[in-house]
Amino acid sequence: METITTNKVAAAIAEKFRQVFNSEPLLVRSPGRVNLIGEHTDYNKGFVLPAAINKAIYVAAGISNNDQCHFIAVDMEDEYVGDIKNLAKKDGHWSVYINGVIDQLQKAGYVIPGFNCVIGGDIPTGAGMSSSAAVECAVLFALNEMFSLGLDTLAMVKMAQQAENKYVGVQCGIMDQFASMFGKKDHVIKLDCRSLKYEYKPFDMEGIRIVLFDTNIKHSLASSEYNTRRLQCEAGVSIINALHPEVKKLRDVSLAMLDQYVLPIDEKVYLRCSFVVEEIQRLQDACIDLENHDMISFGKKMFATHTGLSELYDVSCKELDFLVDFVKNEESVLGARMMGGGFGGCTINLVKEEGIEELSARIEKAYRAAFGIDMKVYVTTIENGTSIIATGKTVVVAV
């Protein structure tokens, strides 16, 4: 058999599959994501600007020749065994991300035979880099290949999002799954979440890196508050829709409409909606900065996004605010903001390469002094989206 070389994390997952299931697996990589700007805009049918990164989930998979499924999560040191025709839903368990995908395929009429898989990777969980979306995308991509389902990439993105919405029960938008599947090396994706049209934009990073500062905390209200924000956005839309039936989402709303119709009725809803309407515009302006290679102006918009997320949308927390405040006047930092749903996870920072080491050391020390916990630093690169590393007809070994 031909030999494929890959990184150590992926090779270890293939090796585990070989040991347990005694055959060569199909091996799929699906990356985590960052989002440069455009937060909480996807479910309001605005724009987002994500990119796939150099941290990924790997799935090694093979058919089982009967109705039994055996899944192993190497990082959790845990396994799941069950019947493909009778999925056992274990709320809060990692298996929901795999069974959610199977459930969606079955609901769409696909008959999926039993299969085995080993999953794992190097995306930290709960840090806001979308490890769960990466699991869903990796599994779906593997099943599509293994059973020749004929799904195209966009169909897989939608199905992976539905797995999260309908089976896992998190009402996320489409950004995470889209970025994981459609990522392109050294490019960000400008995605119109209404039409799902997208454009790759070169991310001019000469001398600048995307650095994530991880608070290492995830407050428990993250998912309930996420769903509340969605409802508040919908509440704003329905106030306006009563008078302007053409308004279906915040994408269709102007700040003047919010002032006229929403402010007199509900101030909290007004603040939430104002952030989203401003953010949709801010992203479009930031894309012009990108075209002009004006990363200074782009970075300023990231700081403005953070202020909006913290003061108007109210999804930040003291740890995230601390990390953004700390870098605000740093010469090496062009822009920073909290990233993702909020209430913990990472800040995303554009940092001049030569300043990263010294800044990281200082911020880690200050964070420990302020909160008594250690934070983490990830220096990322932008990579391709979901892909097959090995087909099962080749031997996978570490570089």
Q: Which residues are catalytic?
A: 176
Which CB, 115 or 213, lies closer to ligand GLA? Answer: 213
Q: In what side-by-side order are the strands of the sheet with 50-63? A: 78-83, 68-73, 115-121, 50-63, 26-35, 387-390
From candidates 25, 183, 236, 340, binder to ligand GLA by CB under 6 A:
340
Binding flag, residue 341, ligand GLA (CB under 6 A): yes
In the complex, minimum distance from the CB of residue 58 to ligand GLA, in angstroms, rounded to a whole number = 21
Site pattern 134..153 for ligand GLA (x: CB under 6 A): --------------------
Q: How many residues of this chain bind ligand GLA (CB under 6 A)?
A: 10
Binding flag, residue 214, ligand GLA (CB under 6 A): no
Binding flag, residue 179, ligand GLA (CB under 6 A): no
In the complex, minimum distance from the CB of residue 133 to ligand GLA, in angstroms, rounded to a whole number = 7
Binding flag, residue 24, ligand GLA (CB under 6 A): no
From candidates 9, 17, 28, 40, binder to ligand GLA by CB under 6 A:
40
Binding flag, residue 172, ligand GLA (CB under 6 A): yes
Angstrom distance (rounded) from CA 22 to CA 39: 44
Which CB, 6 or 132, lies closer to ligand GLA? Answer: 132
In the complex, minimum distance from the CB of residue 250 to ligand GLA, in angstroms, rounded to a whole number = 13
Angstrom distance (rounded) from CA 313 to CA 336: 17
From candidates 24, 103, 136, 176, binder to ligand GLA by CB under 6 A:
176
Residues 358-397 interacting with ligand GLA (rule: CB under 6 A):
none
Angstrom distance (rounded) from CA 96 to CA 144: 18
Binding flag, residue 43, ligand GLA (CB under 6 A): yes
Which CB, 146 or 160, lies closer to ligand GLA? Answer: 160
Which CB, 117 or 337, lies closer to ligand GLA? Answer: 337
Which CB, 172 or 390, lies closer to ligand GLA? Answer: 172
Binding flag, residue 173, ligand GLA (CB under 6 A): yes
Record the tokens describing residue 266, joined without a space.
């509900």
Which residues are CB-contacts of 167 (< 8 A; sequence separation ≥ 6)?
Answer: 89, 96, 99, 100, 103, 104
Q: Of the candidates 304, 356, 305, which has an alpha carbon nearest to the alpha carbon of residue 330?
A: 356
Scored b (16 or more CB within 10 A) or e, 280-313 reads: bebbeebbebbeeeebebbbebbbbbbebbbebb
Which CB, 6 or 41, lies closer to ligand GLA? Answer: 41
The stretches of the chain forming alpha helices (DSSP H) are 8-21, 95-107, 131-146, 153-162, 175-182, 222-241, 255-257, 267-291, 295-311, 318-327, 356-371
State the amino acid at position 204 in one-letter form: D
Burial class (CB in 10 A: 0-12, 13-18, 19+), 158: middle
Binding flag, residue 39, ligand GLA (CB under 6 A): yes
Contact 147, 40 (CB under 8 A): no
Q: Which residues bind ligand GLA (CB under 6 A)?
A: 39-40, 42-43, 172-173, 175-176, 340-341
